[in-house]
A and B are shown apart, each in its own frame.
Chain A
């Protein structure tokens, strides 16, 4: 489990409406992404954001890029560390 070195970056200037979209959450087979509140004002849905909680579960070592292909705003970037 520890050998899978993947870096997942989400561009928050492009990912602007996570509450309405949520496509990456539904599409990812091991559910790497997570919809969370920011610490400031977590009762306001506009302040919610999507993070990659468990990048260790990501299947990118087998060249799965389903989240990158499906994101409507091209906000997700995945790199394999060597």
Chain B
């Protein structure tokens, strides 16, 4: 169990706790003001200076310097974990905007059980990192109410609100394209949506290359069952995190558990059910590594 699961999960996973989807939690965590301020300035997220000194651009340069780098990373990582209900967030550092990668099945489970309505909108990360206008993110109720104030995230045909079944088929389509699913909160306990992105275009996932954990790994690790595997290499071509590699002499892939994010892309693509998800804490190398 990760840190937010311990604090907000009610003895389970934090995104499977129905309380985090309620409107009351969103009001308590100041989600509406938070989203207006942060999402209005999301394009400047990397260059806004915090306390007049630090920004993400500078942090990436200094991340490997011995003492200063360690302090900066510690400060950034601690900020992402902060609770929005205590009202001491530094918005310029995007404090409280934390996400977690999750398997496709669990993302569908969220839509089935906890969410009544969702809306598809333009992904802001893909616009300022890639220059692409692509409708690839799902917004839940607190974000849907804020989006009309931010017209550049609304698609050409207007913001259409869809039910859970349509949203599930939309996630299927995105997973087929090869995107990783992740669930996001406004300030920490309130959940605002599900994103579909890849590691280089996502504004938060790419920061993991510098040791900044804005997006946590999922609760699982993928494991190959070499009896069922036939060596078709599809899973190797799909993985974005470089965790899978193919060994020609045995004609089987191997997974490095310390690199695996547990996104289950390889599992959904495998035609022979040869890849299974195992709890992250059952493997000694990855225990507690999020």
Residue of B nearest to A18 (CB): B131
Residue of A nearest to B198 (CB): A31
Q: Which residues of B contact A71 (CB under 8 A)?
A: none
Q: Which residues of A contact B60 (CB under 8 A)?
A: 53-54, 56
Within 8 A of B (CB), among A50-78: 51, 53-54, 56-57
A38–B67 Cα distance when bound, in Å, is 32
In the assembled complex, the CB of A36 is this many whole angstroms from the nearest CB of chain B, namely: 6
Inter-chain contact A26/B44, CB cutoff 8 Å: no
Q: Interface segment, B122-130, B216-224, B260-268? A: B122-130
Residue of B nearest to A57 (CB): B209
Within 8 A of A (CB), among B54-77: 56-57, 60-61, 63-64
- Judged by a CB distance under 8 angstroms, whether B162 is at the interface is no
In the assembled complex, the CB of B264 is this many whole angstroms from the nearest CB of chain A, namely: 24
Within 8 A of A (CB), among B242-272: none
- Quick one: given A31-B206, A56-B61, are A22 and B131 in contact (CB under 8 Å)? yes
Inter-chain contact B46/A53, CB cutoff 8 Å: yes
- Judged by a CB distance under 8 angstroms, whether A35 is at the interface is yes
- Quick one: given A2-B64, A22-B131, are A31 and B200 in contact (CB under 8 Å)? yes
B57 CB contact (under 8 Å) in A22, A42, A53: A53
**Chain B interface mostly helix, strand, loop or mixed?**
helix
A51 CB contact (under 8 Å) in B47, B131, B132, B200: B47
Inter-chain contact A34/B64, CB cutoff 8 Å: no
Inter-chain contact B209/A36, CB cutoff 8 Å: no
A22–B199 Cα distance when bound, in Å, is 20
Inter-chain contact A34/B127, CB cutoff 8 Å: no
How many residues of chain B have a CB within 8 Å of chain A?
22
Inter-chain contact B131/A26, CB cutoff 8 Å: yes
In the assembled complex, the CB of A32 is this many whole angstroms from the nearest CB of chain B, namely: 10
A31–B129 Cα distance when bound, in Å, is 6
Inter-chain contact B132/A54, CB cutoff 8 Å: no
B43 CB contact (under 8 Å) in A30, A31, A36: A36
In the assembled complex, the CB of A63 is this many whole angstroms from the nearest CB of chain B, namely: 19
Inter-chain contact B43/A1, CB cutoff 8 Å: no
- Judged by a CB distance under 8 angstroms, whether A25 is at the interface is yes
A66–B57 Cα distance when bound, in Å, is 22
A42 CB contact (under 8 Å) in B44, B128, B201: B44
In the assembled complex, the CB of B174 is this many whole angstroms from the nearest CB of chain A, namely: 19
A36–B45 Cα distance when bound, in Å, is 9
- Judged by a CB distance under 8 angstroms, whether B210 is at the interface is yes
Inter-chain contact A36/B200, CB cutoff 8 Å: no
- Quick one: given A25-B129, A54-B57, are A36 and B47 in contact (CB under 8 Å)? yes
In the assembled complex, the CB of A29 is this many whole angstroms from the nearest CB of chain B, namely: 7
- Quick one: given A56-B60, A57-B209, are A34 and B46 in contact (CB under 8 Å)? yes
A13–B132 Cα distance when bound, in Å, is 24
Inter-chain contact B130/A26, CB cutoff 8 Å: yes
Q: Which of A30, A37, A54 has the most CB of B within 10 A?
A: A54
Query: A residues bordering B, Cβ < 8 Å?
Result: 1-2, 22-23, 25-26, 29-31, 34-37, 42, 51, 53-54, 56-57
In the complex, the 3 A-B pairs of residues with the closest C-beta atoms, listed nearest first: A22-B131, A25-B131, A2-B64
**What are 6 residue pairs bridging A and B, where the CB atoms are less than 8 Å apart in the complex?**
A1-B63, A1-B209, A2-B64, A25-B130, A36-B128, A56-B60
